[in-house]
Structure 1
Amino acid sequence: MDIEAVCGASVPFYKMQGCGNDFVCVDNRALEIDPAAMPELVMAVCRKAFGVGADGMIFIDHAPAGSGLAYIWHFFNADGSRAEMCGNGSRCAARLAWLLGIAPARHTFGTDAGPIEAEVDEDSTQVTVLLTPPKDLRLNLEIEIEGRPFHLHSVNTGVPHVVAVMDHIEMVEVWKLGRAIRQHPAFAPAGTNANFISSEAHGSLSLRTYERGVEDETYACGTGAVASAIVARELGMTGEETEIITTGGEVLGVILRDGKTYLRGAAELVFQGVFYPQSLGIETD
């Protein structure tokens, strides 16, 4: 049987994960999917059970001529919202681009937050990215949640993040508290990601994150790990190099040196396949 005659045209994809953050990745250079049509497609593909299921979706595309970039990406959260940056997603995009021969192991690609320098370790799954400079650091903020004052800190590491230092993050109701912070008027209209950290042995941090756009706790968040490391250093909890233990149990490394911010961790190609937009309720020409 001709499957495409029944299910319509297929779209090749690659499923990547970085410390438990999973992404559906599409090489859009030949497909030329219109960015205006991407949000609807993203929501259908990222929907669990009915689609592929993922925290977000990455479209790798041609870089503008003369830009010096290996490629650009269009990055979307699972809810179809476009995001300026994603730390774990950037590492996944870089390693996939290297695996597909789109870019060499060391390259620079374009995001809505600015150019990202990436270095893929050819002998492992580790990828290091130099993120755009953090901005808007604010320490010792107080907001009110359910009638009680709550102490936190904020910084933009490509996307906005709030960081709260907790004694026992395993007891934090991340979905409830994270959602309240994400939607708090103090961070309107865009909202924010919410991170909860606690100190561990040897200067490491444990991290749990409620991600804007996913609207739930995720296994890891790269830009959230960087935000947490920045705040922890400012508070004297850590030094220039920090290991971040994520909810999924994997470790992200953050280096804050000479005004530059590096994120290192594994990026795995889990599987590849095709999906059928028509079966997802997406009309195609």
Structure 2
Amino acid sequence: GSRAEMCGNGARCAARFAYLNKIAGTNMSFETDAGIVLAQVDNDLVKIKLTEPKDLKVGFTLDTDIGPITASSINTGVPHVVIPVDNIDDIEIIKLGRQIRYHGKFAPAGTNVNFYCPLNKNKIKIRTYERGVENETLACGTGAVASALVYANKTKVKSPVSVMTKSGGWLSVYFESKTDVFNNIYLKGDARVIYKGEMSKDAINYTSVENFTKGN
């Protein structure tokens, strides 16, 4: 991967890590390349306030190998394209996602690509092809926010919107809206400690792979 301006799920994990390691209290703020993010930790649930979304564009056409696609885009800290589909499980997400990620319309930086389908009025299911990872991921926080906001813009549903990710987990997106402007955006979901590890000083002291392979 490579450095990104912002990662929604990474921000939530960082907040819980900071709290568990007594770096910060239950309420904190930290800086990202996209701006200041606020976080609130409640046991394993973490709620973050994202920077204000920008560059909302709705209902434009993208030419792809499978024909023209109607899409929308929004920047929720990083750029996202959002595409509604009828059957999300049948999408060839690697092929189509990669093509849109590198589409000339979004050059040179590229974009993340999200597909969503409604489950009911305030619930959607998404799949995300992530720029940098260059593959589908199990969840994308900023992608969940982007999809929820585009869906809300289209259907005029009220906050919050619940988002099911590829992993089967749920994220909640809270927002305020007026016409086509969204603000006070929050992302909430669990952030669990999976394992703890420790890197030895011997590993840190290797100055390069070349020295390692030479046995220095």
- Asked if Structure 1 and Structure 2 have the same fold, meaning a TM-score greater than 0.5 normalized by the shorter chain, the answer is yes
Alpha-carbon distance between aligned partners in 2 of 1:230 and 1:282, rounded to the nearest angstrom: 48
Q: Which residue of 2 aligns with 1:134?
A: 53
Match of 1:108 among 14, 20, 29: 29
* Residues 121 and 157, structure 2, Cα contact 8 Å, conserved in 1: no
1:97–1:175 distance in 2 versus 1, CA, 3 Å: same
TM-score (norm 2): 0.89
Q: Which residue of 2 aligns with 1:267?
A: 191
1:279–1:173 distance in 2 versus 1, CA, 3 Å: farther
1:88–1:150 distance in 2 versus 1, CA, 3 Å: same
AA matched with 1:274: E
Give deviations 1:6-51, integer Å, cap 9, x for gaps: xxxxxxxxxxxxxxxxxxxxxxxxxxxxxxxxxxxxxxxxxxxxxx
AA matched with 1:270: I
Aligned 1:17-56 pairs, distance under 5 A = none
- Tell me how far 1:268 sits from its aligned partner: 1.0
Aligned 1:228-247 pairs, distance under 5 A = 228-236=147-155, 238-247=157-166
- Tell me how far 1:279 sits from its aligned partner: 10
Q: Which residue of 1 aligns with 2:68?
A: 149
RMSD of aligned Cα (Å) = 1.8
Give 3-state SS (helix, strand or coil) of 2:100's partner: helix
- Tell me how far 1:274 sits from its aligned partner: 2.8
Alpha-carbon distance between aligned partners in 1 of 2:13 and 2:211, rounded to the nearest angstrom: 29
Aligned 1:185-224 pairs, distance under 5 A = 185-224=104-143
Alpha-carbon distance between aligned partners in 2 of 1:169 and 1:182, rounded to the nearest angstrom: 18
Q: Which residue of 2 aligns with 1:58?
A: none
Count of residue pairs brought into register by the alignment: 203
Unpaired segments ≥5 residues, structure 1: 1-78
AA matched with 1:272: K
* Structure 2 residue 75 is matched with structure 1 residue 169: no
Unpaired segments ≥5 residues, structure 2: 178-182
Alpha-carbon distance between aligned partners in 2 of 1:175 and 1:280, rounded to the nearest angstrom: 34
Give 3-state SS (helix, strand or coil) of 1:117's partner: strand
Alpha-carbon distance between aligned partners in 2 of 1:167 and 1:196, rounded to the nearest angstrom: 10
- Tell me how far 1:82 sits from its aligned partner: 1.2
Give 3-state SS (helix, strand or coil) of 1:107's partner: strand
Residue identity over aligned pairs, in percent, reads 45
* Residues 199 and 237, structure 1, Cα contact 8 Å, conserved in 2: no
1:172–1:126 distance in 2 versus 1, CA, 3 Å: same
AA matched with 1:200: L
